Structure 1
Amino acid sequence: MSEEITLSLKDAESLSLNVLQHNGYNQAHAEAITRNVLTVQRDECHSHGLYRLIGCVQTALNGGVDTHAVPEVIDQAPSVVKVNARQGNSLLAFEMGKEQLVEKARQTGLAALAINNAFHFSALWPEVEALSSEGLIGIAMTPSHAFVAPAGGTKPLLGTNPIAFSWPRPGSAPYTFDFATSVVARGEIELYKRAGKQIPTGWAIDAQGEATTSPVDALAGAMLTFGGYKGSALSTMIELLAGPLIGDVLGHETQPANEQKTGKPFHGELIIAISPDVFLGQDAARHLQHAEVLFENILGQGARLPSQRRFEARENSLRNGITLPKALYNELIALTH
């Protein structure tokens, strides 16, 4: 079993800020990224937590993100706000556009935030939960680089293309899910590689289109969509809605940052906010309470709700701090020197 280290949330925050600012990120970007990865690490979603700082640094060193970009917020239409991230990180762009998105949703019932020209690496659930904490229903989606073969195909074409949803619940944590339309997130395979473990069958194919359990061959080949053709169709929908619909690129038209600085890792993200109060008026509270019947019946069968384990992990982290592999901690410390 790998050796682990426990940090207080404050120490983890300081570590993240030091890593990012030492490697060129200005204060605004460093703080926005830190808020996201620390939130994710607190909830023990390791593939998108502090581990992602390594990729943030590498992308910056390879010229794949403008670490000082100032996003431009555009009031596009009564129900649409756009943010040009200007090749900066998507997280600061989201934070800058969120206020208008919330305001428009409360005015019109349904509003969209389109983020363009952004470097995106992060989990989506912190963004949709930021909306459900405002009493809104949140939906978010983004394409990624071409890592995934379409159902029946043998070569990468689609991204891992995650989608997230958060429903506000009265007096309780929101109902939230966030998942890649690939069988797993690419970060999960990277973690298997780091740990020297084989991946489960059905996650990926190698460069020859054959099934593989090697994380190295999987990363060089193609990941698979969940649910076969259903996951492939959903992934394609995300490409369209968070690509051409908002005036941005398709996943296979982007490339990760590289040492030759020829990568093009910039693409779009679409966030939708829905106001129950506008849809339902004075009956909103009654219908939101009615929705609780569904959750109660799910739990009543012994099933669990998405994110239930994450919320339990959050309580533990708030009490006891966060735990991460010592090898990862040492890598992060090295990035501050």
Structure 2
Amino acid sequence: MAGHDHASDITISEAEARALALDFLIADGLGRAQAEAMAETLVKAQRDGCKSHGLQRLPGTRDTMAHPRFNRAADPQPEMVTPAMIRIDAGYGFSVLAAKRGLPLLIAQAQSLGIAVLAVQNGFHSTALWPVVEEIAEAGLAAMSMNPTHDWVAPAGGSKGILGTNPLAFAWPRADQPPYVFDFATTAAARADIALYRNEGRTLPEGWGLDRDGSPSTDPAAVLAGAMLPFGGHKGSALATMIELMAGPFIGDRTSAQSAAFDQGASAAPLHGELIIAFNPAVFGNTSGTDAAETVLNGIRDQGARLPGERRHAARAQSAQCGIALPRALHARILSLMPQTPSRLP
């Protein structure tokens, strides 16, 4: 099978996409606050061309909500540990609502103190990190976010999973244009991207993963059943380990292996913590810092190199003008999982 056929897409508005996601989640009994937060984040990813983290993840939320510990009525509230440290327990619901509710306090404290930390605990996590750090950067702050996942990843030189895909996101504010933002897994590819290769019948590039026996493989199904590999060999492995420690033991939450053990074969999203850090460059009083940052970023672009996030912003503009593209088969599958739902085909 070839890659994605754009002729098989339908086009819907952002409002229609949000209503579709919200209806789906509420129909499965998810509380409105959680449903709205999840729908907003998934639609942002779909709108910005991040298909692996968009509405493709909607059917899988049913598996997560079927976990015996999942809390459809979770109502997380932020707690100030110190002026610079905020904790919010997701209450075994989706972590996206907890992160959303913790951001206003995180932003306010970072603006005042120069730096603040938000620890999200006990959340089922299945969304991209960049919407969170982008929102922080839009408030004039720099930001980082990271989390473990499940132990799907073998360390460099190893053969069995012990680390997570352990994504890292960073955002830097810019005055007259969208923030500089990157968000990537510390693996050679995101797990959702490998699943896309499997669904589309494509072979993986070499170096993405191992089969169950620890041998290199380009079969996406074999890699999903075996172990993924970090990018950059020992460097990606070390970065993944740092994230494992900082967003796990440091904030009193689970490692990737502990998250996988908690799943108990339920095929739910990983249950773990998320560490979000916000920094205020203005507090350091270096008024030339913003200009210097722009010199760096513009210098990259002036060489013809692409800044991370530019493709996402281009897709966002395209979606605003033409609507959000959604594979027809995915749209049909979402509708088929919803009871007595009228067709939304355009």
TM-score (norm 1): 0.95
**Count of equivalent residues:** 334
**Residues 33-81 of structure 1, C-alpha deviation per residue, up to 9 Å, x if partnerless?**
0110111111000000011111112211233531211113211001000
CA contact (8 A) 1:256 1:263 kept: no
1:90 paired residue among 95, 109, 123: 95
The aligned counterpart of 2:159 is 154
Kindly indicate whether residue 298 of structure 2 is the aligned counterpart of residue 311 of structure 1.
no
Residues 177-200 of structure 1 deviation map (CA, whole Å, 9 limit, x = unaligned): 000001111000111111122111
Is the contact made by 2:64 and 2:267 (CA closer than 8 Å) also made in structure 1?
no
The corresponding residue for 2:80 is 75
**Structural RMSD (CA):** 1.6
- Report SS of the residue matched to 1:169: coil
Aligned partner of 1:327 in structure 2 is: 329
| Other-structure match for 2:344 | none
Distance 1:257 1:247, change over 3 A: closer
Distance 1:223 1:310, change over 3 A: same
Secondary structure, aligned partner of 2:58: helix
8 Å contact 2:64–2:269 — kept in the other structure? Answer: no
The 5 Å alignment of 1:53-202 reads 53-63=58-68, 65-202=70-207
Match of 1:235 in 2: 240
Q: TM-score, normalised by structure 2?
A: 0.93
2:321 aligned partner, one-letter code: R
Distance 1:41 1:86 in 2: 27
* 1:300 equivalent in structure 2: 302
Preserved CA contact (<8 Å) 1:141 1:269: yes
- Mapping of 1:35-54 within 5 angstroms? 35-54=40-59
Change (3 A) 1:197 1:155: same
Tell me the amino acid that sits aligned with residue 162 of structure 1: P
Letter in structure 2 aligned against 1:28 = A
Is this contact kept in 1: 2:146–2:169, CA < 8 A? yes
Moved more, 192-201 or 34-43: 192-201
8 Å CA contact 2:63–2:267 kept in 1: the answer is: no
Counterpart contact for 2:63–2:268, Cα < 8 Å: no
**One-letter amino acid of the counterpart of residue 194, structure 1:** N
Gaps of 5+ in 1: none
Question: Which amino acid is 1:334 matched to?
Answer: S
Match of residue 244, structure 1, among 239, 249, 253: 249
Moved over 4 A (4+): 256-264
Query: Which deviates further from its counterpart, 234-243 or 321-330?
Result: 321-330
2:202, 2:59 → 1: CA distance? 20
Once the two structures are TM-superposed, the CA of residue 264 in structure 1 deviates from its matched residue by 9.0
Cα 1:263–1:190 change in 2 (3 A) is closer
Q: Kindly indicate whether the alpha-carbon contact (under 8 Å) linking 2:126 and 2:269 is maintained by their aligned counterparts in 1.
A: no
Residue 217, structure 1, aligned to residue 222, structure 2: yes
| Closer/same/farther in 2, CA of residues 44 and 263 from structure 1, 3 Å limit | closer
Unpaired segments of 5 or more residues in structure 2?
A: 340-346
CA distance in 1: counterparts of 2:292 and 2:108, whole angstroms: 26
CA distance in 2, matches of 1:42, 1:74: 33
Indicate if the aligned counterparts of 1:63 and 1:257 stay in contact, CA closer than 8 A: no
**Partners of 1:62 and 1:259 within 8 A in 2:** no
2:237 counterpart letter in structure 1: S
- The secondary structure found in structure 2 opposite 1:51 is helix
User: Aligned-pair distance for 1:256?
Assistant: 7.5
Retained in 2: the 8 A contact 1:62–1:260?
no
Q: Do the aligned residues in 2 keep the contact of 1:26 with 1:68 (CA within 8 Å)?
A: yes
Match of 1:21 among 22, 26, 38: 26
Task: Map 1:218-297 to 2 at 5 A.
Answer: 218-255=223-260, 265-280=270-285, 283-284=286-287, 286-297=288-299
Write the letter of the residue equivalent to 1:300.
Answer: D
Among all aligned residue pairs of Structure 1 and Structure 2, give the percentage whose two residues are the same amino acid: 44
Moved more, 69-78 or 214-223: 69-78
- The answer (yes or no) to whether the contact 2:263–2:270 under 8 Å persists in 1 is no
